[in-house]
Each structure stands twice: as structure tokens, then as C-alpha cells.
Structure 1
Amino acid sequence: MNSPNQSDVIVIGGGPAGATASTLVAQQGYSVKLLEREPTPQYRIGESLIPETYWTFKRLNMLDKLRASHFVKKHSVQFVNSSGKLSAPFNFFEHNPHECSQTWQIRRSEFDAMMLQNAQEQGVEVSQGVRVLDVLFQNDRAIGVVIKNAEGRREELLARVVVDASGQSSMILNKFKLREPDPELNKGAIWTYYEGAYRDEEPNAGATIVLSLKKSTGWFWYIPLHENIVSVGVVADFDYLFKERRDHATTFQEELINCPVVKERLSLGTQVEKVRATRDFTYRSKQAAGNGWVLVGDALGFLDPLYSSGILLALKSGELAADAIVEGLRKNDTSKEQLGKWAEEYFKGMNRMRRLVVEFYNGFNFGEFVKRYPHHKGNVTNLLIGDLFKDELDQVFLDIDRMKSKDM
């Protein structure tokens, strides 16, 4: 038996990636401590799920909780071009008539609390209000953490594996200088919330809408949430949004003028929360794992939110890391190679979504692409719903390159 200060696995961070990794390891009978700095889940952005999250939720035994929640059901996504033309709703069920094609728009504080409760129910020892001060290493191997517990006392906790799911402030990411920014996607966002703004009729009342700004300088998200709230934000190049601007609230209002469809929708509602901003969206770690440690979620990397891939990538990295950890614990192999064996395929999938994002910003016409290459309609749809981890999807990008070269 492990001592009170010894576990098989310690997970730093109680967001979706940490909750996923801890739950899936605990399901296999291993002792897992999850350490979350905040005493209760806090406000976070990242509110729209995409269909492929279903399969990880199924493994986590989360589906019944989500079905019983008051989260808005999401059946579709729509796009509005820079001229204000609204696409037909992109209905997930038409592509795949399965329960997985209905997903949800979430409030992160509530969703994260559900995920932590679910982890506890399946054997994870969840400690909130605990600050991790350092990751302990013996030579080049992670062996545990130093914490300040909820009573303010310092303790050392030991583990066979340390999972860093602590987000962009990741200790391991920063300790080893692993962060690689993506200069092609140097974006930022400014957002807020409205009550009573316009919603489409069912079944598209819960659709995410992506609306291009005039001159395609960026885009707005429009996400209907429960309690008649809409999350609305603008994403654009860092310099465009933040340099030589007066303040974030003024910039937000100025960009509404550049997107009349959003301005009209919001005119029916009232702004109910402050304007928030974030910068430098896209980055990734140079490596996913080392001896005795592994990164998941935003500690591993983050991709521009255009196609709402954030929660999917958090869940998927947590799931893949958990499977590698369980296999490693069974074999008594917690090496860098074992704990990071999934990373190459994961980054391939992330790169496929990244390529879609880059093509959007470069003005590529996906509607014209599907007309020219109709056999790729299903593949493009798979990419958009988050079914990213198939090598055959790479043919899409070869044909995108072929189409672009012909049009030059």
C-alpha cells in the first residue's frame, strides 16, 4: 500500500485535461491525487464543445451528467462571411446520425465542477485550494511535488508519475523552456456576455456562429449559453487588436461596427459582464513527456479557438496520456518514451486542425474546394467535428495545395 504521501500518480490542475487523465487512471485501480489551486472551479473561457468529445465523455462516464444538465444543446454551426452572408446551418446529425452529433455549450465553472465530482466518484483523491510550489526531480526523473496545502503547510508528495495539467503557467513547460509560439497564429481575443440577445429558432438555437469581420481582418464568435446568456468575442491579429487602441471595451465596440450581423443580434440584449481580453493564443510544447512526467491540456499546447477545438484537445491529450500511464505502471516503465508514446499522433491531429485554421485566416474558400473535390466533403466534415486522428485526412491538404497552385 502507498503511504499517505505516496501515490501512483499526481495530477497538477483540475481542468478538463487533468480531470480526464486522473479519472481514466483511477478507473484502472491506481491511486491518483489531483491537486487544484483554486478552492472552487473558477471562470474560464472555452465554452463550446464539438461532437468528437462524446467518445471521451463516454469513457469518463460523464454522458448522463451532461444529458441531465441545463447546458444548451448544440446541434450545428454556422458561418457568416465578410459580406454578411449567413451559411446554411451545418447540422452534425446529417453527417453522422448518431447521438454523438449532439453536443453542448457550457459554462466552464459548472462544467469543471462536474468533471471534478465525476473524478472523485471514480476514485480520484481531489484536493482543492492546494498550491503546487515545485515539481520534485531526482536526477532527470520527476518523483513528486512540493505543495502548500489548504492550511498553509508545506508538504512533499511523492508519485511514480506527475501529470502537469496546470495550463499555460505550467511549471514543467516553463522550467525546461519548452514553449514554442506559433508566429503564424499570433492572435488575441476580446469578449463579453449579453443577456437577451437574438437566438435562432430550434434546432439551431444553440448553434455556434462564426462571423467574419469586414475585410476579413478577424472574426467574432457567438455562443448561446443557458439562462439566456450569449458569449460573444472578437479574434484577430495581436497588433490589430491591441496596438494603438484606447482600451478593450472601446475596441470591442469598434469591431462590432465591422460586423453588422453581430451588432444587430446584440441590439436586442444587454451587456451583463465586463469585457475581457487574452493574448498570444497558439503555442505548443517541444515535448510531451519526460522521465516520470507528462504534459496534457494547455500545458502541452493551445490552438486558436476558431473551430472550438480547445476542450476536445484537452480531453484527448488527457485520455491518451492516461492510457500510456496505465500501460507504463503495469510494465513498471515510466520513461519519457513510454509516457510520451502517444504524442506524435496527437500532434499530427492538432496540426490538421491548425491547418484548417490557417487556411481560414488566409481566405481559403472551403465551399469552392468541396465543389471541386466533392469526395472530400465527408473528410472536411470529420476535421470540423474533431475527428482528427486519421492519416487518410492528409489527402485533403494535398488537394488544398493542388487547388491553390492551380489558382495562382
Structure 2
Amino acid sequence: MYDVIVVGGRCAGAATALLLARRGHRILLLERARFPSDTLSTLYIHQPGVDRLARWRVLDEVRATGCPPLERISFRAPGLLLTGPAPAWGAATGGLAPRRYALDTILARAAARAGADFRDGCSVTGLLWEGDTVAGVRYTTPGGGTDQARARLVVGADGRNSTVARLVGAPYLRHDGRLTVALYTYWSGLSGDGLGLYSGPGAGAALVPTQDGLTLVNVQLPRDTPVTRGNARHAYLAGALRACPDLAELLAAGRQEERLFRCTDLPNFFRRAYGSGWVLVGDAGHHKDPCGAHGISDALAQAELLAGCLAETVGDPSLREKALRQYAEERDRRWTPPYESNLAYARLSPTENHLEVLRKGETDPLFRSLVFRALAGIPDEDLRSLGRQAEVH
């Protein structure tokens, strides 16, 4: 009998397992892939996420992967260039963008060092039930066998197509469909010492320096863009040109080092966060378009929120129910406003009024700092006034 079984060993799941194991709970962490394993991702960790890694004492390991500190930000749109230092937050002087095969492995190993039973190569195929309460999982093992384990609580941290969410029938509280298709690949030979963001008519892009001298360049196009295996590279380069001619020139001087990945499954939703014996964290419960690159930072924040709510309540059913309700309410309260903003960005059609507001940042360093703090998801009363100003315009 475990206290908690966490299904999914990447950012959200490994962080949840790490924090609960450090509180003395008996944790089983199951991951379908064999680590180290890569996955599609924008890679970028905003400052609040970097600060969490520091507080959890794993930031030095992440930095040791060789991912450079991203202490500058530039945002280009028609008639607009905002560039300057990234705002600091806690222990973070900027963002970081480690490869996922490195980051996820670091977090999972940290959970194991804290006492979690980490098993990779294990796919959950079913749930154990006691009446209408989830009481454990069935899963396949790396050798092709099957096993099962019981727990007081099962955490679904297994991504936007969550098996746990499907098996418990977690309903959507809100579903806004897909807005973009994303194309990713890695380049060498690109200049730049920070995060580069680009927005043009019907296209957006991000330039994200990572480890090994590589830079991830992500291009996003409207969801109805016909992107097939045969025309994906053409669509990618044409999208980069639409996002910003300067970006297209930059790519022409670089070298593509990995194959081009395309992702069309980018829904925007909130699922019900919990039920009897189960709870969802990270993309399993709430997913939004990657245009804001908040997936990793959100996963770490939600893991911390869930672990904090559960803290001393895992063994008491009545207290656990109250804790899960608190987690769900706080998740929806905190993540709904940025979800709305992200939907607006993902429509890839910035209005002239919005751009006119942002142009103030070209000459006003304080205003520019507020914009960059908003991009990073840094809480600030001044940011709310900035939002109100944009709404007025």
C-alpha cells in the first residue's frame, strides 16, 4: 500500500512525487517511457519555475546540463521591438531551457533520492476500485508482464491525453479546441543571448537557446493551415518569414540539426481536477496552447500547490477531500486569467490597439519591465493595472 501513486514521471509528476516524498509519504512514480527520454516541448522555464527549482535544490543539476541563462528578452511584432533584461524573481535572474530528456530525468532522480519508488517503462492500463473510489492502478512492466499497486490517492500527471483522466471519466469544465499547429526543430549557428519572441500576421515564433550550442525554433500557424509531412518544411520556413523577416534571415545563416517535428494536438481546456481517490495535475487537468511557453512552469507550480494542499492529509479521507477541493479551487482561480490571455495570443492576430499599447515599452523601461514580467507570469499588482490599460485601449 502506497500513500500516493503518481502516473506520469515528467515535470508535473516527478515534481509532485519529489515534494510528497520529502514530506515522508510513500510514493510510487510510474512513467511509460524509459528515461532519459525526449518529448516535444518549448523547453522554456519562466522565472517562477526557475526559482522553484532552486528552492527544491535541483537548479544546480539543471544548470550543469549546459543550458545557458536566458537573461534577455526580445519581442518583435510589426512596428514594434521590445528588448531588454529579463526580470529577476527570487533566485532566478532569467529563464532556462534544458532539453526535456535532461530536465525530466533530473526531477525523477531527485524524487527517487527523496524516497519515491520510481519505475520507468511502465504503462498504466487500468485502475483498481473500491466501490466508486479509485484505490490503485494496473500497469505493464518493462519485461512485458503486468502488475498492480494500491494507494490512498492516484495522481494523474500523464499529459493532455491522460489515461487517468480517461479512466475516471474526468469531465471538461471548459474546452476551447485547438487554435494553432506547431512546428519545432533545433538549429546551430544562431546568434542570440536570450529568449526571442516573434509575432506577425498569422504566425508566431520563438527562438530558445538550449544546451549543446543548439537553439530551439518553434513556429506556430493557425490550426487550419494545411501542414503535411511533405510540405512541413516549406510551411515552417514560410511561417518564420511571416512571423518576422529578421528571423527568416537568421535561419538562413544557421544549420538545422534535427528533424522537423509537427504537433497538431494542442487543445485548450480545463478538466475537473479531482474525484474520489484521484486528482489531476499539469497538462492532464489543464492544457493551453504553447504560444506562451508556460507548460513547464505551470506544471511545477501546480505540483507545488497540490503537494502543499495534501501535506498532512493523505491518510485521512475527510481531510484529503477538503485538501483536494482546495487544490481544485485554487488551480482554477490562479490559472483562468492567464488561460484567457493565452487564448488571445494563440489566435495569432494581435490588434493594432494592443500593439500601440506595447509600443510604450520601446521608450519606457518601467513599462517594458512590466510587459516582460507579465510574459513570465510573475504576480504583481502593477501587472493588473497594465492589463486594464490594454483593455481600455
TM-score after normalising by structure 2: 0.88
Verify the 8 A CA contact 2:199 2:205 in the aligned structure 1.
yes
Verify the 8 A CA contact 2:204 2:240 in the aligned structure 1.
no
Correspondence 1:386 to 2:371: no
Verify the 8 A CA contact 1:41 1:109 in the aligned structure 2.
yes
Verify the 8 A CA contact 2:29 2:117 in the aligned structure 1.
yes
| Identity in percent | 24
Residue in structure 1 matched with residue 65 of structure 2 by the alignment: 69
Residue in structure 2 matched with residue 272 of structure 1 by the alignment: 257
> How far off is 1:262 after superposition?
1.4
Verify the 8 A CA contact 2:157 2:283 in the aligned structure 1.
yes
TM-align CA RMSD? 2.7
Q: Give the aligned length.
A: 383
> How far off is 1:324 after superposition?
2.0
C-alpha separation between the residues in 2 aligned to 1:374 and 1:65? 33
| Unaligned 5+ runs, structure 2 | none
Counterpart of 1:189 (choices 158, 182, 197) is 182
Verify the 8 A CA contact 1:173 1:285 in the aligned structure 2.
no
Residue in structure 2 matched with residue 102 of structure 1 by the alignment: 94
Residue in structure 1 matched with residue 357 of structure 2 by the alignment: 368
Correspondence 1:58 to 2:54: yes
- Please list the CA deviations of residues 176-226 of structure 1 after superposition, one character each: whole Å capped at 9, or x if unmatched: 15244314x521101211122x213xxxx1x1111123xx21211111122
Verify the 8 A CA contact 2:32 2:121 in the aligned structure 1.
yes
Correspondence 1:7 to 2:2: yes
SS at match of 2:155: strand
C-alpha separation between the residues in 2 aligned to 1:142 and 1:304? 30
Counterpart of 2:287 (choices 302, 305, 312) is 302
C-alpha separation between the residues in 2 aligned to 1:140 and 1:78? 51
Report the CA distance shift for 1:228/1:150 in structure 2 as closer, same or farther (over 3 A).
same
SS at match of 2:160: helix
Residue in structure 2 matched with residue 281 of structure 1 by the alignment: 266
C-alpha separation between the residues in 2 aligned to 1:167 and 1:134? 16
The 5 A counterparts of 1:219-368 are 219-242=204-227, 247-258=231-242, 259-329=244-314, 331-333=316-318, 335-360=320-345, 361-364=348-351, 365=354, 368=357
Report the CA distance shift for 1:395/1:173 in structure 2 as closer, same or farther (over 3 A).
farther
Report the CA distance shift for 1:222/1:249 in structure 2 as closer, same or farther (over 3 A).
same
C-alpha separation between the residues in 2 aligned to 1:375 and 1:75? 17
Report the CA distance shift for 1:327/1:400 in structure 2 as closer, same or farther (over 3 A).
farther
Residue in structure 2 matched with residue 36 of structure 1 by the alignment: 31
> How far off is 1:240 after superposition?
2.6
> How far off is 1:76 after superposition?
2.2
> How far off is 1:249 after superposition?
2.0
4+ runs of 1 displaced by more than 6 Å? 372-378
SS at match of 1:356: helix
> How far off is 1:314 after superposition?
0.6
| Unaligned 5+ runs, structure 1 | 1-5
C-alpha separation between the residues in 2 aligned to 1:211 and 1:377? 16
